[in-house]
Amino acid sequence: MRGGRGNLQRPRAHARKAELAVAAADRLQGRGRCRGEDQRRSERKKSGAAQASQGSRETVNSPAVADFSGKRGLVLGVANKRSIAWAIAKRLADGGARLAFTYQGERIEGNVRELASTVDAPLVTACDVRSDADCARVASEVGEVFGGELDLLVHSVAFAAAEDLEGRFTDTPRERFWMALDVSAYSLVATARAAEPLMEAAGGGSILTMTYLGGKRAVPHYNVMGVAKAALDSSVHYLAWDLGQKNIRVNAISAGPVRTLSARSIAGFPTMEAIVEERAPLRRHITADDVGAAAAYLLSDEARNVTGTTLYVDSGYHAMGM
C-alpha cells in the first residue's frame, strides 16, 4: 500500500509542478506584454511630443498674416526697400489691403514708384508734410481712388539736419529746431486731420506712427530728434482722445535701432546697435520686418480696443535701467 500511495503522489506532484511552470510562464509572458505595451506607449508619447514640438516650431517660424481684406491705406515715409514704412506696407498688402503711397522729393520718387508697383498701388503722389495745403490735396486724391473712404494711415516721417545729430543739443539753432518738430511731429497732426473725414466715412480707422526711446531718455547724438519724438509721443495721446469718438485709433511703435537710410545720418549708430545687442534682455538686433509684424497687429481689427499706446519693439531694451 505504501508503494501504491507513493506512485499516486508522484504524478500529482509532477502535475503540480507543471501547473506552477505554466503559471510562471504566463506571468513572464504577461510581464513581457506589459513591458511591450509600456514601451509602445512610451514611444507613442515621444512621437506625439516630437510632433507637438515640431508643430510649435512651425507656428513660431511661420508669421501669421493679419487680414486686411477690403481695407484701404495711405503710407507716408517709404524711401527704399529697407524702409520701415515699406516693411509695414508689405504686411498690409500681403493681408489684402489696397495702398496709396506718398514721396517727398524727386530723389526718391523712382524708388517709391517701383516698390508701389509691386503691390499694385493705385496712387503714388508727392507730399510735402510741411504744407497743410499739400496734405489736404493728398487726402483728396486718396479719397478719389478709394471711394471717399480710408481705413489705415501709416506715418513714418521724420527729419533733422545731419549736423544737429552730432555734437551738443544745446547748440541747435532755432530754425532747425522748429524744422525738426514740424516734419517729425506736427506732420502727424496735419495728416491725421486731413485723413479724419475719410476715416469717419469708413466708420473708423487706425493711424500708426514711428517713435523712439530718445523721446523719453537722453540718447547721445539723437539730440533735437529726441525732442521731436517727445512731441510726437504726446501728440499720439491727444489725437487718440480727439479721434476716438469717431472710432479712429492712434498708436505708435518705438523700435530699437534698425538699419535704414535715415539711421545712417545718426552719429554713433553702430554703437547704439552694439549696446542693444549687449544689454537688451533678448540680446539681438531688430529688423524692419520685426516692426512690420508689430505694426500689422496695431493696424488690424485685432487691436480694435488699443489706442493711445506705444508698443516697444526693441528686444526689451527700454525696460533696462542702464
**Of the residues 13, 32, 62, which one is the last residue of a structural domain?**
62
273 assigned to some structural domain: yes
As a whole number of angstroms, the distance between CA 62 and CA 226 comes to: 35
pLDDT in tens, 98-118: 999 999 989 999 999 999 999
Q: Whose CA is closest to 95, among 124, 113, 71, 115?
A: 71
- Beta-strand runs (E) in the chain: 72-76, 98-103, 123-126, 152-155, 205-211, 248-255, 310-313
Q: Are residues 32 and 55 in the same domain?
A: yes
Any catalytic annotation for residue 238? no
Q: Which three cell numbers stand for residue 211?
A: 517713435
As a whole number of angstroms, the distance between CA 156 and CA 102 comes to: 11
Give bridge partners of residue 248 from the DSSP assignment. 205
Number of domains in the chain: 2
CB 239 within 8 A of CB 286: no
- Specify the pLDDT at position 136: 98
- Specify the pLDDT at position 216: 94
Q: Are residues 134 and 24 in the same domain?
A: no
Q: Are residues 164 and 252 in the same domain?
A: yes
Q: Are residues 41 and 89 in the same domain?
A: no
Q: Are residues 25 and 169 in the same domain?
A: no
- Per the structure, the complete domain to which residue 49 belongs is given by 1-62
Q: Are residues 187 and 55 in the same domain?
A: no
Any catalytic annotation for residue 297? no
Q: Whose CA is closest to 253, among 279, 222, 292?
A: 292
pLDDT in tens, 135-154: 999 999 999 999 999 999 99
- Specify the pLDDT at position 230: 98
In one-letter notation, the amino acid at residue 306 is V
Q: Are residues 228 and 255 in the same domain?
A: yes
- Specify the pLDDT at position 262: 62
* pTM tops 0.75, yes or no: yes
SS3 120: coil
**Ranges of residues in the chain whose predicted pLDDT is under 50:** 1-11, 13-15, 18, 21-22, 24-25, 28, 34, 42, 44-62
Which CATH number belongs to the domain containing residue 201 in this structure? 3.40.50.720
As a whole number of angstroms, the distance between CA 306 and CA 308 comes to: 7
Catalytic residue among 103, 186, 212, 317: 212
CB 80 within 8 A of CB 103: no
C-beta neighbour count of 202 within 10 angstroms:
21
Q: Are residues 41 and 113 in the same domain?
A: no
Catalytic residue among 186, 222, 297, 317: 222
Q: Which three cell numbers stand for residue 64?
A: 501669421
